[in-house]
Structure 1
């Protein structure tokens, strides 16, 4: 059993400011004995326009927030999962989730496959969609599959990670308030139930600027679909929640209810 920390914060357009918030979360998580800290989508910045978002993006190895978190991970001996932006080759950016191990090295990253085009928010105006699912990675808290936010609405990616024995699936997010109220919990619980994996969704919270507000309610759901953690959706102070990841419990759930797909009737997704 391992302790995982889930960080909730309100990122702004200032990468330096956001790093300072993350450093506070790292300190709290390390003091609590966490083996890993999960941070939201777009932790490095939330811009007020597509143009600003593109202008702020830096390569992963030059991103001050990533470099700062690599140092913090090594110092605290704690893995960190964080959502960032990086430039794409076509002038847009990639929405990326990266895994920094407890030695401070980036050992895996994933670029968001499904882009959020809803109402006035058109992520595709500035973001290039990723092109592949990344195999789960072995970490200090278990075998982790990386996804991001809007991917939550598409079970194909989580089922693909399940087939590769993902014990934990991450959904770092910046959900809008209307979609969060309507769908956040039910989607997270659905993904956990159908994959029999822990689902960890660190979320942005509060007003980032005059145009953008996030739902919050960072959540962890266990392999039976039980909500272990639901953080508040009010306020913007950075905070952490803690959960125990019990991989033996996951194996018990799997053995008691085998989910064997009828591939003779329909092909594997």
Structure 2
């Protein structure tokens, strides 16, 4: 089966209402070009470093502006609309970095909370502690859609191949990787990681990204892209500004790639033995 997918590139600011307007405009553009699955980036609703301001703007899932806009838009356009993620206030006062998938009837099919928290210390003093604000998820999501099985990941999750392999082994044919990669890490690793996950699992990867300099001062890498199971980049955006990336996806390419290199079938269980240097029998005569 072949379908048209779109990855929406955004430069979300601190105002959810303005970001919702941008999302609606870009999704309409993608749908007008024939996309039936449209994905937006991580933190579509807002990128906000000021934790107090972020918490003041938080809403629960039932009253969130982005959630309501996406649900209505999916129904209006008759598409599957995947909000890469937005910040959602939880009942216990904590925050989820939560993605949402809506069907053509506007109903929520599922949600996914980012599992791996971006707690890192980079060069030039750049430091991030996502776990200080967000509660990590604990459940992966694999969704059977009319055009294929879709697995879910968000941004930093791409560095944990076991998440992708688990879903591929369960039948995932497409992985979603909406992101807000920093410019520094994106330049070094973004495309390499996405292509590696596609190749090693024989699956399509759709990655909508934030791009450019944001109102809160951070800079994201952009380069939203769609990759096929052989690791070929089918479509890619630039490093700054909004955009719509489109590709026609033939799900048969998944079986073809896995047939050529069946590493999902060829994997074997193994044990690990640590051997001390100089142990008897280790040194060749």
Question: In the alignment, what sits opposite 2:113?
Answer: 111
Contact preservation (8 Å) 2:213, 2:220: yes
Runs of 5+ consecutive residues of structure 2 not aligned to the other structure: 122-126, 273-285
| Contact 1:158/1:191 (8 A) holds in 2 | yes
Provide closer, same or farther for how the CA distance between residues 250 and 262 of structure 1 changes in structure 2, counting only shifts above 3 A.
Answer: closer
Contact persistence 1:92–1:127 (CA under 8 A): yes
Task: Name which of 93, 96, 108 aligns with 1:94.
Answer: 96
Equivalent residue number for residue 145 of structure 2: 139
Equivalent residue runs for 1:209-220 within 5 Å? 209-220=215-226
Deviation at 1:56, TM superposition (A): 2.1
Q: Are 1:172 and 2:178 counterparts?
A: yes
Deviation of 1:264 (Å): 3.9
Paired residue secondary structure (2:71) = helix
* 8 Å CA contact retained: 1:98, 1:110: yes
Deviation at 1:126, TM superposition (A): 0.5
What is the aligned partner in structure 2 of residue 247 from structure 1?
251
Q: Where in structure 1 are there 5+ consecutive unaligned residues? A: none
Deviation at 1:255, TM superposition (A): 1.3
CA distance in 1, matches of 2:271, 2:260: 24
- Where in structure 1 do 4 or more consecutive aligned residues deviate above 3 Å? 261-264
Matched, 1:71 2:72: yes
Is residue 2:268 matched to residue 1:263? yes
Name 2:124's counterpart in structure 1: none
Partner-residue secondary structure (3-state), 1:185 = helix
Q: Quick check: 1:182 aligned with 2:188?
A: yes
Determine helix, strand or coil for the equivalent of 1:250. helix
Aligned counterparts of 1:85 and 1:40: Cα–Cα separation in 2: 12
User: Normalising by the residue count of structure 1, what TM-score does the alignment of the two structures yield?
Assistant: 0.94
Q: Secondary structure at the match of 1:44?
A: coil
C-alpha offsets along residues 219-251 of structure 1, whole Å, 9 cap, x if unaligned?
A: 1111001111221002x2x32111011111211
Query: Superposed, which structure 2 residues align to 1:194-205 within 5 Å?
Result: 194-205=200-211
TM-score by length of 2: 0.89
> Cα deviation per residue 1:127-166 (whole Å; 9 max; x = unaligned)?
11111212x1122432110110000000010011101111
Q: Distance in 2 between matches of 1:121 and 1:141?
A: 37
Contact kept, 8 Å, 1:206 with 1:213, in 2: the verdict is yes
